[in-house]
Amino acid sequence: MPWAVLDGLLRLVTCDVAVFNDINLAEQQAITVQAVEAGGLHLLEVGENFGPVYPQYWAHRQRFLPSDYTDRSGDVVSVLRWSDLCTTSELNNTPFYTECLRTHGSGSACPFRCRDPVRVGAAGCS
């Protein structure tokens, strides 16, 4: 992802951090994670440098409605908020949110499908 896109997202959506994750779903592997902090710090991690943040990460992610939206719907052009797919109460009670996103992740995200059918990207802010 070009840094200018994340810098622009950070300015557009009032948040402390803008993040982009590139994930290979077939191999359950993160390819890259990029982040831009409000102070201007740019961070980049490459897949071999990190793994899932907890043991059930991939199983919980697969059952998280916003994460598998493009797989279920085939929709690769819509921009959605988590609230388009579940209530705040439902979100707060999902294992992926409670175990991962609440402590390690972002407050919102926009999943999208890359041209490669096994890769997915997600941009988010927190």
Residue 91's pLDDT is what? Answer: 84
Residue 99's pLDDT is what? Answer: 83
The span from the CA of 53 to the CA of 103, in Å, is: 10
The span from the CA of 101 to the CA of 120, in Å, is: 17
The pLDDT tens digits of the residues spanning 52-110 come to: 777 888 888 888 887 777 777 877 777 777 778 888 888 888 888 888 777 765 555 55
Residue 107's pLDDT is what? Answer: 56
The pLDDT tens digits of the residues spanning 24-42 come to: 877 888 888 888 888 889 9
User: The domain that contains 12 carries what CATH number?
Assistant: 3.30.450
Residue 113's pLDDT is what? Answer: 53
Domain that holds residue 105: 3-125
The span from the CA of 34 to the CA of 6, in Å, is: 9
The count of other CB atoms within 10 Å of the CB of residue 85 is 15
Collect contacts of 102-108 with beta carbons under 8 A, ≥24 apart.
104/53, 106/17, 106/19, 107/15, 108/81, 108/82
Residue 42's pLDDT is what? Answer: 94
Residue 98's pLDDT is what? Answer: 85
Please state the domain count of the chain.
Answer: 1
pLDDT value at 11 more than 80:
yes
The count of other CB atoms within 10 Å of the CB of residue 93 is 11
